[in-house]
Amino acid sequence: MAKTGRIDWRQLIRYGLLAGVAALYVSVIGMVEVFSQRSLITGVLTLGQLLLFSAPVLAGYLAVYKDDESQTAAFSLLKGVITGLFSSLPLIALVLLANAVNLRAMFVNVSPALIDILVFGQGTAVGVLLLLLSGAIWGTLGVIIHLLPDKTRHVVLVGLSWTLGAGMLSELLIQVFRPLFGSGFIRFVFQGGALKLWASIVVFILVTLLDWYWSKRREEVKTKMANLNPTQRRAGMGVGLLILLILPWILGTYLSEVLDNVGLFILMGLGLNIAVGLAGLLDLGYVATFAIGAYVMGLFTSTSSLGVGELNFWIVLPISILAAMTAGFLLALPVLHMRGDYLAITTLGFGEIIRILALSDWLSPIIGGAQGILAIPKPQIGSFVFRGPQEIYYLILAGCILAIFVSSRLNNSRTGRQWMAMREDEDVAAAMGIDTTKSKVLAFTLSAASGGLAGAIFASKLGTIFPHSFNLLISINVLSLIIVGGMGSLPGVVVGAFALVALPELLREFAEYRLLLYGALLIVMMLARPEGLWPSAVRRRELKGTEEEEIEGGEGAPVAVTAD
Which residue stretches of 227-360 are H helix? 230-251, 253-272, 287-301, 313-332, 340-359
Mean pLDDT of 235-262: 88
Mean pLDDT of 131-141: 93
Per-residue pLDDT band at 554 (split at 50, 70, 90): very low
156 and 100 in a common domain = no
459 and 327 in a common domain = yes
Please tell me the total count of domains within the chain: 3
147, 168, 187 - which closes a domain? 147
Within-domain flag for 561: no
pLDDT at site 507: 75
Residue 414 and residue 268: Cα distance in Å, rounded?
23
- Beta strands 194-195 and 380-381 are unpaired
pLDDT at site 555: 44
pLDDT single digits (tens) 64-78: 887 766 678 888 899
With a pLDDT cut of 90, the percent of the chain lying above it is 36
482, 500, 529 - which closes a domain? 482
Residue 546: pLDDT above 70? no
Residue 178: pLDDT above 80? yes
pLDDT at site 310: 75
Mean pLDDT of 259-267: 94
Residue 514: pLDDT above 90? no
Mean pLDDT of 290-311: 86
With a pLDDT cut of 70, the percent of the chain lying above it is 94
pLDDT at site 542: 66
pLDDT at site 543: 64
Residue ranges making up the domain that contains 474: 248-482
117 and 47 in a common domain = yes
pLDDT at site 5: 59
201 and 130 in a common domain = no
258 and 194 in a common domain = no
Within-domain flag for 553: no
Mean pLDDT, all residues of the chain? 86
Per-residue pLDDT band at 291 (split at 50, 70, 90): very high
Buried b / exposed e over 233-261, threshold 16 CB at 10 Å, is: eeeeeeeeeeeeeeebeebeeebbbbbbb
Total-model pTM: 0.84
Q: How many CB atoms lie within 10 A of CB 3?
A: 10
| CB burial of residue 522 (10 Å; 0-12, 13-18, 19+) | middle
pLDDT at site 553: 42
